[in-house]
Structure formats: structure tokens, C-alpha cells
Chains A and B, each alone.
Chain A
Amino acid sequence: MREQQAGWEVAMEHEKEKAILEILEQDARTTPEQIAAMLGLEVEQVRQAIRRLETAGIIRRYKTVIDWDRFGEEQVFAFIDVKVSPAREVGFDDVAERIYRFPQVHAVYLVSGDHDLRVIVSGRTMKEIAAFVAERLAPLDRVQATYTQFVLKRYKEDGEVYAEAEPDRRLVVAP
């Protein structure tokens, strides 16, 4: 019985933390006071939960979604599919690590299909990215082939749609 009770409490705690995470994922600037009000919790409870989530590495960090294009700062992105021969014991991990340590690498995934790693790279120009592929990526040990696709237009990223927000078409007052 007591075990059941404890299990239930853990599940409740999990639900609360999940709700907090969802709110912060939408808007990292939501204050603990606001979150507490939204979820019917005590402010201190929310603060504690956030601290725990931060120390546990569940909340990685708080960042801002920026439309750099709109700011006038051009950036070029490319998807690079990389074919790698895996090695005993480490598989693809060591090559992946060598790649993700470059700061211009935004993301590295191990994927199924024709290639092994999918790398997302940014640069100021296409030339810069081409140079990165030719001089840094392709020569890596066990990299057999690369296949580069430049991004021509970004429509949606991380759930954010990069278009004019749709206007509120509702009447100002309606019964």
C-alpha cells in the first residue's frame, strides 16, 4: 500500500515537472510566479523543481530563437550526409565526436539509410562550408564519402514557422 502511494507520488511529481518543462519550452522567460499560478503550485515548489531539472541536465540551457535573416545577418546552412566505416568497439561514436567538436557544426545525428551521419553546418558563405567539407570533414579517418545539400530557404525550424504571423481574424467582441 505504501509502495503504491509512493509510486503515485512519483508519477504526480513527474507530471508536474513535465508541465513546467512544457511551459518553459514555449517561453523560457515565464517566471516561477507565473508558472505557479498556471499550474496551481506553490512558487517555492516551482523554483525547486526548476533547480532540480537544471542540475539533472534535463534543462540544458535557456536560449533565444532568432531570425538572423530578418536581422540582416546572412548565414548559410548545409546538410551533409557522411558515409563512415564503423570501427570495432566505438562504432561511429568517435567519428561523430571529431565532427561535433567543430563549432560551426550545429547538429550531428546517426541515421538509418544510405548514409551514416547527418551533419548540419553553418557558415557565412557557401565557400566557407565547401572549404569545411573539403578540408575538415572529408579527410577524416574512416569517412568514405560526403554528400552536401545547401539550405535554400528555411520554412520551419524547431517548431518555429519563419513567416509572417497569421493575423487574429476574430471579431473584437463576440458573444
Chain B
Amino acid sequence: MKPLSQAVASVPPSGIRRFFDVAAQLEDCISLGVGEPDFVTPWHIREAAIWAIEKGFTTYTSNYGLFTLRQRIAAHLKARYGVEYSPESEVLVTVGVSEGLDIALRALVNPGDEVILFEPSYVSYVPCVLFAGGTPVCLPTDYRNGFQPDVERLRRALTHRTKAILLCYPNNPTGAVATRETLEEIVRLAVEHDVYLVSDEIYDRLVYETEHTCVAALPGAAERTILLGGFSKSYAMTGWRIGYACAPAPLLEMMMKVHQYTMLCAPIVAQKAAEEALERGETEVERMRREYDRRRRLVVERLNDMGLECVPPQGAFYVFPSIRCTGLSSEEFTERLLWEERVAVVPGNVFGASGEGHVRLSYATSLPKIEEALRRIERFVLRHRG
């Protein structure tokens, strides 16, 4: 038979699958490997969705999404970050940030175009660039400076082929939040070299001891930025698959074309739920954020105490400690920890080469479970430190 798509074949299969399958089988395994909130969606949001179904909200919506939802998204972004988007033509409701990312890249990239991204990075970025026909250019970051994007390295990596820079702060998997100054410099470079910015800000509401910087709000950024946001993490709505993309009208129109012919529209029930989330979800967002913050401090302190060094992450719900004191590779550490102590974490190398020597722990898990997991990890580390 004829060979299948090269673009798809060139993407290696996910390396962590086999860990998932093992972990799922083990009894009394505690997982710190989950990339989603341990809270269920706040009841008022679920209730609003039930009501929407009862009322017969079961149809397609405008390709852009419900106008009322787009209005709320625009108002929300204006109030929080001072960015202005027209709900008529600059806001697109997507099936999660995942879809937003895909159509953003497809709208931007021509064959051979380079897309720069910082590693360790979320696992979808490189494959999505490849699927769009682009060439990913991965720049490493270092835990010793808290995984801040390296502007000098970025300057050197920019070429005439560079089409876009992909940013994700607060970051999955490191929990890093880029400083405003760093982001401003990145925007300046983007303007100077005329490249686009794709900013995945899905974790914008989960920041601790700092403020979120919306990239699109920085001077000169709006006209070349695609802002991706969503409801999954802030409102514990991962399974609803609902997010949004905002960009200047001509750019958004390109994305909209892909969205229109592939997705048609985001599910209407999820859109109704998202409206409710924006309208009345604030208290719950803050309640969950505070809870994450407490767990974060506890986890960071305990990990540092046991020798798994980590700079306190300021966002998302991940810590990305160094495991070098054990002398194990990320995969060895993960696999042995799973078998010996029944704790599942994610090996850092799946997030890119500069993630080697680290593992990702999620603290989106109940406190008693986190504590038990930390006891087990401590035992494990003591045994392997030699």
C-alpha cells in the first residue's frame, strides 16, 4: 500500500503511553501525573448546562460561537488585562485551546516556516507545528533561572524563515511565569523581525504571588498576537472542550476558515456553560486558586527538603523538580518510582530535551494524597541518593 502522510509519520508516538497503561493497572497507585484539576466543574456551571439542555440548546451556533459568549469573553479580557477585541470579528470560540493552537498554526505557517518555542514545552506544540507543515525550533530553558525564556538565545534563533514565536506562560510543565520585562523584550524582537506571537494563556488565572501578564496587552503586541485562552483549568472544565482565540480580524478570519470547515462550531452546551462561568464563576476560581497555592507551597518545601531541587513555580499546578541527586534519568526515575512506590509522575524528557533530569508533578490532587505521595517519593529518593 502507498505510504501514509509524511507529516503525521514524522511525529514520534507519545513516549509516556506505556507508563499510563502500567499506572492505570496498579492498585493503590497515587498519580501526580494528571494535567487537569482535581475539582469537578463548579455546580452552578454544571447546573446552567443542564438547564441549557432542558431548554433545547442543542443546535449549531454561529461558526464564531454564540455572540453572547463572545461578548462576555471580550468584556472579561478587557476588564482583566485591558486588551480590546471586537466580539464581532476578533473572538472565536474554539474546542479548547488545543483546537485554537492547531488552527492558529495552520493559519500562519507555510511549508518551511519556522516556529520558535521554548522547551520544556507542552507535548502538543511540536506535533502541531509539524502537522501545519512548519519547522519547530526548540530553545532550551534552564531550571536555575526558573525556566525563564532566554531572550538572547531567541535573538540568535530568529531567521528570515521564522514565522512565529509560541509562548506559554504560566507554563506547562514547569509552572514558570515569564516576567513582564522578558515578555516585553520578546514582543520587541517580534516587532523588529516581523514575526507573529502565539500565546497560550490557558493557565492565566492560576498564578501565585504574582500577576499574569497578557502578552497581547504589551505595547506593540496586539496586531501580531494570537491569544489563546480557555476554561479548562480556571474553571475545572477540561472535559467540556471549550476555549477561545482572539486576534486582529484578518488573522482571526483565516483561523475561522479552518475552524468553519473542520470543527464547524464548539458544542453549544459547553458554550452555555462557559457563559455561566464568566458570569458567576469568580468566587470558585479564587477558591480553587487558593487551594492550589497552599498545596504548591507544601510540595515545593517538601521536595526541596528531600533534595529534589525546584525553584518555586508561580503558575499552573505543576512543579518540575530536578532529580539529578538520584543519578537517574527522567524515565528511569519515573519507571522505578512507579514500580517501587506506586507513584505516577511524568518524565521531564517528554516535554523536550531540556526536560531531561526533571519530572513533572501535578499538585492538582487532594492534600492527603499529595502528602502520602511525598512520603513515598522521599523514601524513594533516600534509597537512590546513595
Q: Do A and B bind each other?
A: yes
Chain A contacts to B: CB under 8 angstroms:
23, 27, 34, 37-40, 166, 168, 170-175
Contact of A34 among B14, B19, B34, B298 (CB under 8 A): B298
Kindly list 16 other residue pairs between chains A and B, CB separation below 8 angstroms, not including A34-B298, A172-B23, A173-B346: A27-B367, A37-B302, A38-B297, A38-B298, A39-B294, A171-B24, A172-B33, A172-B344, A173-B20, A173-B23, A174-B33, A174-B35, A174-B36, A175-B16, A175-B346, A175-B350
Contacts of A39 in B (CB 8 A): 294, 297
Let me know if B29 is at the binding interface, CB within 8 A: yes
0/1 string, B20-40, CB within 8 A of A gives 1: 100110000101011110101
Judging by beta carbons under 8 Å apart, are B298 and A173 in contact? Answer: no
Judging by beta carbons under 8 Å apart, are B23 and A37 in contact? Answer: no
User: Considering the chains assembled together, what is the distance between the CA atoms of A39 and B295 in angstroms?
Assistant: 9
CB-contacts of B232-247 with A (<8 A): none
Let me know if B123 is at the binding interface, CB within 8 A: yes
Let me know if B301 is at the binding interface, CB within 8 A: yes
Contacts of B36 in A (CB 8 A): 170, 174
Judging by beta carbons under 8 Å apart, are A175 and B122 in contact? Answer: yes
Chain B contacts to A: CB under 8 angstroms:
14, 16, 19-20, 23-24, 29, 31, 33-36, 38, 40, 122-124, 172, 294-295, 297-298, 301-302, 344, 346, 350, 367, 371
User: Considering the chains assembled together, what is the distance between the CA atoms of A173 and B295 in angstroms?
Assistant: 19
Contacts of B367 in A (CB 8 A): 27
DSSP majority for the A interface?
loop
Judging by beta carbons under 8 Å apart, are A171 and B34 in contact? Answer: yes
Judging by beta carbons under 8 Å apart, are A175 and B124 in contact? Answer: yes
User: Considering the chains assembled together, what is the distance between the CA atoms of A172 and B14 in angstroms?
Assistant: 15
Compute the total of residue contacts between A and B using a CB distance below 8 Å.
53
User: Considering the chains assembled together, what is the distance between the CA atoms of A56 and B14 in angstroms?
Assistant: 57
Among B24, B294, B295, B297, find the residue whose CB has the most chain A CB atoms closer than 10 A: B294
Contact of B298 among A27, A37, A171 (CB under 8 A): A37
**Smallest CB-CB separation from B122: which chain A residue?**
A175
The distance from the CB of A116 to the nearest CB of chain B, in whole angstroms, is 33
Contacts of B172 in A (CB 8 A): 175
Contacts of B371 in A (CB 8 A): 34
DSSP majority for the B interface?
mixed
Judging by beta carbons under 8 Å apart, are B40 and A166 in contact? Answer: yes
The distance from the CB of B206 to the nearest CB of chain A, in whole angstroms, is 16
**Smallest CB-CB separation from B346: which chain A residue?**
A173
A-B contact pairs, 14 of them (CB 8 A): A27-B367, A37-B302, A38-B294, A39-B294, A39-B297, A40-B297, A166-B40, A172-B23, A172-B34, A173-B16, A173-B20, A173-B33, A173-B344, A174-B34
Contacts of A166 in B (CB 8 A): 40
User: Considering the chains assembled together, what is the distance between the CA atoms of A102 and B170 in angstroms?
Assistant: 56
User: Considering the chains assembled together, what is the distance between the CA atoms of A34 and B29 in angstroms?
Assistant: 23
Among B33, B38, B371, find the residue whose CB has the most chain A CB atoms closer than 10 A: B33
User: Considering the chains assembled together, what is the distance between the CA atoms of A174 and B295 in angstroms?
Assistant: 19
The distance from the CB of B353 to the nearest CB of chain A, in whole angstroms, is 17
Judging by beta carbons under 8 Å apart, are B297 and A173 in contact? Answer: no
User: Considering the chains assembled together, what is the distance between the CA atoms of A172 and B21 in angstroms?
Assistant: 9
User: Considering the chains assembled together, what is the distance between the CA atoms of A112 and B20 in angstroms?
Assistant: 57
Given known contacts A175-B123, A175-B124, A175-B346, is B38 in contact with A170 (CB within 8 Å)? yes
User: Considering the chains assembled together, what is the distance between the CA atoms of A149 and B33 in angstroms?
Assistant: 49
